[in-house]
Amino acid sequence: MKKLVLAASVLAFTLTGCSTQVSYGDPQEVETVDVAFGSSDLQKIAGEMTDSMISSPLLAEITANNRPIVFVERIKNKTTEHIDTESVTDSISTKLLQSGKFRFVDMTRVTEVREQLDFQNDGGLVDPSKAIAFGQQVGAEYMLYGNLASIVKTNKKTKDVYYKMTMRLMDLKTGLVEWADETEIRKAETKSTFGW
């Protein structure tokens, strides 16, 4: 019996001693784990692009008496990294929507919307007087699109990464670009004695 208690104690100590601790951090805190694109970069880009667009004198004119309807194209990733550009796109469109100056159509849900309208109109399960008819949705007036690019330079001691985000807002009726801006991030990582 003593051997069994001793073995259980050793096992419990081993499991407790090797456990992983998890803690919450401030999502707004600058993240500096490495030079790869991270949460701080996403927040900086989304914040700067949104602020620039909202404060633009040209867009103040467009949004003075109207909340234009915008289609947001997913940001194109032109870097060599895997970057979740959908998160960048979501952050920008969410901040713009929260500004109260714009409205959005969500092109990523067209298939699901069509399926729901088909169900309502062709399934025979929905009261026809309460079904939403086809052809009543509102089209976008503007398209917001952009690119995220990077340049990476390395030597024996340093890795330097430069990111550039460019965005444009196009009037879909005229094809004119009404607003454009870009923001930049530069990060450097110094090689330690033991390598990267």
Look at residue 13 and tell me if it is in a domain. no
Q: What is the pLDDT of residue 192?
A: 73
Is 26 within the bounds of a domain?
Answer: no
Residue whose tokens read 């067209």: 110
1, part of any domain? no
Q: What is the pLDDT of residues 152-177, one digit of tens each?
A: 998 888 889 999 999 999 999 999 99
Q: What is the dihedral of CA 87, 88, 92, 98, to 10 degrees?
A: 30
pLDDT at 4 over 70: no
Q: Are 149 and 157 in contact (CB under 8 A)?
A: no
Asked whether residue 55 is assigned to any structural domain, the reply reads yes
- Residue 106 structure tokens: 């969500």
pTM: 0.76
Question: Alpha carbon of 94 to those of 47, 108, 142, 152: distances in Å?
Answer: 11, 15, 16, 30
Which domain, by its residues, includes 155?
Answer: 40-129+140-190
Q: To the nearest whole number, what is the mean pLDDT of the chain?
A: 85
Lowest mean pLDDT among 9-13, 96-100, 132-136, 163-167: 9-13
Tell me if 96 is assigned to some domain: yes
73 in a structural domain: yes
In a domain, 17, yes or no: no
Does 183 fall in a domain? yes
What's the structural domain count of the chain? 1
**Domain CATH for 63:** 3.40.50
Q: Does residue 146 carry a pLDDT above 90?
A: yes
Task: List pLDDT tens digits, range 26-51.
Answer: 666 665 667 778 888 888 988 999 99
